[in-house]
Chain A
Protein backbone atom coordinates (compact mmCIF):
# COMPACT_ATOMS: atom_id res chain seq x y z
CA UNK A 1 0.00 0.00 0.00
CA UNK A 2 1.12 3.54 -0.71
CA UNK A 3 1.44 5.46 2.51
CA UNK A 4 3.22 8.45 4.03
CA UNK A 5 3.79 8.52 7.77
CA UNK A 6 4.80 11.49 9.87
CA UNK A 7 5.19 10.06 13.35
CA UNK A 8 5.16 13.34 15.26
CA UNK A 9 2.02 15.46 15.56
CA UNK A 10 3.92 18.22 17.32
CA UNK A 11 7.58 19.11 17.45
CA UNK A 12 8.59 21.88 19.81
CA UNK A 13 12.12 23.34 19.80
CA UNK A 14 13.86 26.49 20.94
CA UNK A 15 15.09 29.11 18.52
CA UNK A 16 18.54 28.22 17.25
CA UNK A 17 18.16 24.50 17.90
CA UNK A 18 18.39 21.94 15.08
CA UNK A 19 15.14 20.63 13.62
CA UNK A 20 14.34 17.29 12.04
CA UNK A 21 10.81 16.53 10.87
CA UNK A 22 10.44 12.84 10.15
CA UNK A 23 8.76 11.35 7.11
CA UNK A 24 8.62 7.68 6.16
CA UNK A 25 6.94 6.29 3.10
CA UNK A 26 5.73 3.01 1.71
CA UNK A 27 5.87 2.71 -2.06
CA UNK A 28 7.08 -0.04 -4.37
CA UNK A 29 8.30 2.10 -7.27
CA UNK A 30 10.53 5.17 -7.56
CA UNK A 31 8.73 7.88 -5.66
CA UNK A 32 8.80 11.60 -6.04
CA UNK A 33 8.67 13.26 -2.64
CA UNK A 34 7.75 16.73 -1.46
CA UNK A 35 7.51 18.84 1.64
CA UNK A 36 4.66 21.34 1.84
CA UNK A 37 4.29 24.01 4.52
CA UNK A 38 1.29 25.94 5.82
CA UNK A 39 1.98 29.04 7.88
CA UNK A 40 -0.76 30.44 10.09
CA UNK A 41 -3.65 31.82 8.00
CA UNK A 42 -1.80 31.15 4.74
CA UNK A 43 -2.33 28.66 1.97
CA UNK A 44 -0.47 25.41 1.72
CA UNK A 45 2.66 25.93 -0.36
CA UNK A 46 5.49 23.84 -1.71
CA UNK A 47 8.64 24.00 0.40
CA UNK A 48 10.86 21.63 -1.54
CA UNK A 49 10.91 18.53 -3.74
CA UNK A 50 13.58 15.88 -3.66
CA UNK A 51 14.46 16.00 -7.35
CA UNK A 52 15.41 19.68 -7.06
CA UNK A 53 17.97 18.99 -4.34
CA UNK A 54 17.59 22.61 -3.25
CA UNK A 55 17.81 24.26 0.14
CA UNK A 56 14.78 26.46 0.74
CA UNK A 57 14.68 28.81 3.77
CA UNK A 58 17.58 26.78 5.19
CA UNK A 59 15.67 23.49 4.99
CA UNK A 60 17.01 20.40 3.26
CA UNK A 61 15.66 16.90 2.78
CA UNK A 62 17.44 13.83 1.48
CA UNK A 63 15.67 10.84 0.04
CA UNK A 64 16.93 7.65 1.69
CA UNK A 65 15.58 4.77 -0.36
CA UNK A 66 17.10 2.17 1.94
CA UNK A 67 15.24 3.50 4.96
CA UNK A 68 12.30 4.79 2.85
CA UNK A 69 12.58 8.16 4.53
CA UNK A 70 12.56 11.81 3.50
CA UNK A 71 13.26 13.72 6.69
CA UNK A 72 13.23 17.53 6.66
CA UNK A 73 16.14 19.21 8.43
CA UNK A 74 17.29 22.65 9.40
CA UNK A 75 20.41 23.31 11.48
CA UNK A 76 19.12 26.41 13.31
CA UNK A 77 15.37 26.91 13.77
CA UNK A 78 13.85 30.38 13.55
CA UNK A 79 10.57 31.53 15.10
CA UNK A 80 9.17 32.18 11.62
CA UNK A 81 9.57 28.47 10.85
CA UNK A 82 6.61 27.73 13.13
CA UNK A 83 4.01 26.13 10.86
CA UNK A 84 2.34 22.89 9.84
CA UNK A 85 4.54 20.71 7.64
CA UNK A 86 3.27 17.96 5.36
CA UNK A 87 5.31 15.31 3.63
CA UNK A 88 3.80 14.06 0.36
CA UNK A 89 4.50 11.35 -2.19
CA UNK A 90 3.63 11.38 -5.87
CA UNK A 91 3.05 7.88 -7.22
CA UNK A 92 2.62 9.19 -10.76
CA UNK A 93 3.88 12.39 -12.32
CA UNK A 94 1.24 12.18 -15.06
CA UNK A 95 -1.77 12.96 -12.91
CA UNK A 96 0.11 14.88 -10.25
CA UNK A 97 -1.77 12.96 -7.58
CA UNK A 98 -0.25 13.28 -4.11
CA UNK A 99 -0.48 11.14 -1.00
CA UNK A 100 -0.02 13.24 2.12
CA UNK A 101 1.17 12.39 5.59
CA UNK A 102 -0.75 13.42 8.68
CA UNK A 103 1.28 16.57 9.17
CA UNK A 104 3.61 17.81 11.91
CA UNK A 105 3.19 21.11 13.70
CA UNK A 106 6.54 22.75 14.31
CA UNK A 107 6.61 25.18 17.19
CA UNK A 108 9.76 27.26 17.59
CA UNK A 109 9.93 28.92 20.98
CA UNK A 110 11.89 32.14 21.58
Chain B
Protein backbone atom coordinates (compact mmCIF):
# COMPACT_ATOMS: atom_id res chain seq x y z
CA UNK B 1 0.00 0.00 0.00
CA UNK B 2 1.26 3.46 -0.90
CA UNK B 3 2.39 5.52 2.04
CA UNK B 4 2.65 9.30 1.88
CA UNK B 5 3.88 10.69 5.17
CA UNK B 6 3.76 14.31 6.21
CA UNK B 7 6.09 15.19 9.03
CA UNK B 8 3.60 17.05 11.24
CA UNK B 9 -0.17 16.82 11.74
CA UNK B 10 -0.33 20.20 13.51
CA UNK B 11 2.07 23.09 13.40
CA UNK B 12 1.93 26.57 14.95
CA UNK B 13 4.32 29.25 13.75
CA UNK B 14 4.68 33.00 14.00
CA UNK B 15 4.36 35.63 11.31
CA UNK B 16 7.63 36.14 9.47
CA UNK B 17 9.08 32.75 10.33
CA UNK B 18 10.49 30.45 7.65
CA UNK B 19 8.43 27.26 7.74
CA UNK B 20 9.28 23.86 6.32
CA UNK B 21 6.68 21.18 5.60
CA UNK B 22 8.07 17.80 4.73
CA UNK B 23 6.56 14.97 2.72
CA UNK B 24 7.95 11.51 2.05
CA UNK B 25 6.53 8.76 -0.17
CA UNK B 26 7.67 5.15 -0.23
CA UNK B 27 6.54 3.98 -3.68
CA UNK B 28 9.18 5.48 -5.97
CA UNK B 29 6.61 7.79 -7.57
CA UNK B 30 7.85 10.34 -10.10
CA UNK B 31 5.22 12.97 -9.36
CA UNK B 32 4.72 14.83 -6.09
CA UNK B 33 2.33 17.65 -5.26
CA UNK B 34 1.56 20.23 -2.59
CA UNK B 35 -1.97 21.56 -2.15
CA UNK B 36 -3.69 23.74 0.34
CA UNK B 37 -7.23 22.87 1.36
CA UNK B 38 -9.59 25.63 2.46
CA UNK B 39 -13.35 25.43 3.12
CA UNK B 40 -15.36 26.47 0.10
CA UNK B 41 -12.26 26.62 -2.11
CA UNK B 42 -11.44 22.94 -2.39
CA UNK B 43 -7.86 21.90 -3.06
CA UNK B 44 -5.60 24.38 -4.79
CA UNK B 45 -2.28 23.32 -6.24
CA UNK B 46 0.73 25.22 -4.92
CA UNK B 47 3.64 23.44 -6.62
CA UNK B 48 4.35 20.08 -8.15
CA UNK B 49 7.37 18.11 -9.22
CA UNK B 50 7.64 15.40 -11.86
CA UNK B 51 11.25 14.48 -11.20
CA UNK B 52 14.14 15.09 -8.83
CA UNK B 53 15.20 18.76 -8.85
CA UNK B 54 12.31 19.59 -11.18
CA UNK B 55 9.46 21.80 -10.04
CA UNK B 56 6.56 23.64 -11.59
CA UNK B 57 4.28 26.31 -10.23
CA UNK B 58 0.70 25.44 -9.58
CA UNK B 59 -2.19 27.85 -9.27
CA UNK B 60 -1.14 29.66 -6.08
CA UNK B 61 2.67 29.60 -5.76
CA UNK B 62 3.10 33.10 -4.32
CA UNK B 63 4.78 33.06 -0.94
CA UNK B 64 5.89 29.44 -1.30
CA UNK B 65 8.86 27.55 -2.66
CA UNK B 66 9.67 23.84 -2.88
CA UNK B 67 12.64 21.53 -2.86
CA UNK B 68 13.04 18.04 -4.26
CA UNK B 69 16.58 16.80 -3.76
CA UNK B 70 15.60 13.13 -3.52
CA UNK B 71 12.87 11.28 -5.34
CA UNK B 72 11.01 10.29 -2.19
CA UNK B 73 11.00 13.69 -0.48
CA UNK B 74 9.21 16.91 -1.44
CA UNK B 75 9.46 19.91 0.86
CA UNK B 76 7.23 22.97 0.92
CA UNK B 77 8.79 26.17 2.23
CA UNK B 78 6.99 29.25 3.42
CA UNK B 79 9.68 31.89 3.03
CA UNK B 80 8.12 34.39 5.45
CA UNK B 81 4.93 33.03 6.95
CA UNK B 82 1.86 35.24 6.97
CA UNK B 83 -1.53 34.79 8.62
CA UNK B 84 -3.24 34.19 5.26
CA UNK B 85 -1.16 31.03 4.92
CA UNK B 86 -3.02 29.45 7.82
CA UNK B 87 -4.52 26.37 6.19
CA UNK B 88 -4.50 22.59 5.80
CA UNK B 89 -1.64 21.50 3.57
CA UNK B 90 -1.85 18.21 1.68
CA UNK B 91 0.96 16.37 -0.02
CA UNK B 92 0.32 13.78 -2.74
CA UNK B 93 2.31 11.53 -5.02
CA UNK B 94 1.56 9.54 -8.15
CA UNK B 95 3.05 7.31 -10.78
CA UNK B 96 2.72 8.60 -14.33
CA UNK B 97 -0.81 8.13 -15.58
CA UNK B 98 -2.06 6.89 -12.22
CA UNK B 99 -4.22 8.55 -9.54
CA UNK B 100 -2.71 10.57 -6.75
CA UNK B 101 -2.21 9.24 -3.21
CA UNK B 102 -2.49 11.72 -0.36
CA UNK B 103 -0.91 12.18 3.03
CA UNK B 104 -2.82 12.93 6.22
CA UNK B 105 -2.27 16.65 5.94
CA UNK B 106 -0.59 19.29 8.08
CA UNK B 107 -2.81 21.85 9.76
CA UNK B 108 -0.67 24.97 9.90
CA UNK B 109 -1.58 27.97 12.02
CA UNK B 110 0.32 31.23 11.61
CA UNK B 111 -0.07 33.57 14.57
A residues whose Cβ falls under 8 Å from a Cβ of B:
6, 9, 34, 43-46, 49, 86, 88, 93-103
Q: How far is the CA of A74 from the CA of B100 in the complex (A)?
A: 24
Given contacts A46-B99, A95-B50, A98-B43, 20 further A-B contacts (CB under 8 A): A34-B99, A44-B43, A44-B92, A45-B102, A46-B100, A46-B101, A88-B43, A93-B96, A93-B97, A95-B48, A95-B56, A96-B31, A96-B33, A96-B94, A96-B96, A97-B58, A98-B45, A100-B35, A100-B43, A102-B40
Q: Which chain B residues border A44 with CB–CB below 8 Å? A: 43, 90, 92, 102
Q: Which chain B residues border A96 with CB–CB below 8 Å? A: 31, 33, 48, 50, 94-100
B residues whose Cβ falls under 8 Å from a Cβ of A:
31, 33, 35, 40-45, 48, 50, 56, 58, 90, 92, 94-105
Q: For residue A48, which residue of chain B has the nearest CB?
A: B99
